[in-house]
Amino acid sequence: VATKAIRVLIVDDSSVMRRMVERSLREAGIEVGETLEAGDGWAALDVLKRQSPDLILCDINMPGMNGMEFLHILRDEHGSKNIPVVMVTTEGTQLRAAEAQAAGARGYIRKPFTSEQIRRQVLPLVEGK
Amino acid sequence: MTTGYASHISPPKGGWSPLLEGAAREVFEVMLKSPLGAGDASAEQNSELIAMVGLTGDLSGFVSVHCSTEAACRMAAKMLNADPQAYNDTARDAVGEVCNMVAGSFKSKLGSAAADCKLSIPFIISGAECVMETNPGGTHVKVPLSFDGSPLVVALDLRN
Q: How many Cβ atoms are within 10 Å of A96's Cβ, its own excluded?
A: 19
Amino acid B124: pLDDT: 92
**CA-based R_g, chain B, Å:** 15
| Pick from B25, B38, B34: nearest CA to B79 | B34
Please count the residue pairs, one from chain A and one from chain B, whose beta carbons lie less than 8 angstroms apart: 65
pLDDT value of residue B3: 42
Instruction: Quote the Cα angle for B144-B145-B146, to 5°.
Output: 140
Q: Which of B1, B9, B26, B31 to mutate to test the interface with A (most CBs of A within 10 A)?
A: B31
Q: Which burial class, exposed, middle or buried, applies to B22 when counting CB atoms under 10 A from its CB (0-12, 13-18, 19+)?
A: middle
Residue B86 pLDDT class (50, 70, 90 cuts):
low
Find out whether B19 and B65 touch, Cβ atoms under 8 Å: no
The phi, psi pair for B72, rounded to 5°, reads -65, -40
Picking from B26, B27, B97, the nearest residue to A14 by CB comes out as: B97
Q: Please choose, from the candidates A8, A14, A74, the residue with its C-alpha nearest in 3D space to the C-alpha of residue A40.
A: A14
A14: CB partners within 8 A, 6+ apart: A59, B93, B96, B97, B100
B93 to A95: CB separation less than 8 angstroms, yes or no: no
3-state helix vs strand vs coil in chain A, percent to 5? 45, 20, 35
Exposed / middle / buried, residue A87 (Cβ in 10 Å: 0-12, 13-18, 19+): buried
| Mean pLDDT rounded to a whole number for chain A | 92
pLDDT (tens digit, 9 = 90+) per residue, B41-84?
765 556 789 999 999 988 889 999 999 989 999 999 999 888 77
CA angle B141, B144, B150 (to 5 degrees): 150
Q: Which of A10, A24, A59, A61 to mutate to test the interface with B (most CBs of B within 10 A)?
A: A61
Mean pLDDT of chain B: 86
Number of C-beta neighbours around residue B129 at 10 A: 9
Which residues of chain B are at the A interface, by a Cβ-Cβ cutoff of 8 Å?
A: 26-27, 30-31, 76, 79-81, 90, 93-94, 96-97, 100-101, 103-105, 107-108, 112, 114-115, 119-121
Stated as kind and residue range, the H or E segment containing B144 is: strand B139-147
The enclosing H or E element of B142 equals: strand B139-147
Instruction: Cite the DSSP H helix spans in chain B.
Output: 17-31, 69-80, 91-109
A42 HSE (CA, 13 A, CB side): 4
Which pLDDT value is given to residue A96? 86
Structure confidence at residue B145 (pLDDT): 95
The mean pLDDT of B91-106, rounded to a whole number, is: 95
**Contact state of A62 with B121 under an 8 Å Cβ cutoff:** yes
Give pLDDT, residue B6.
Answer: 67
CB B14 within 8 A of CB B137: no
Structure ipTM: 0.90
Q: Do A16 and B108 touch (CB under 8 A)?
A: no
Q: Which residue of B has its CA nearest to A114?
A: B30
Question: For the segment A48-91, what is each residue's pLDDT rounded down to a tens digit?
Answer: 999 999 999 999 999 999 999 999 999 887 677 789 999 999 98
Is A90's CB within 8 Å of B120's CB? no
Q: What is the pLDDT of residue B131?
A: 67
pTM of this prediction? Answer: 0.90
Residue B116 has pLDDT above 90, yes or no: no
pLDDT at B32 over 90: yes
Q: What angle do CA B111, B21, A28 make, to 5 degrees?
A: 75
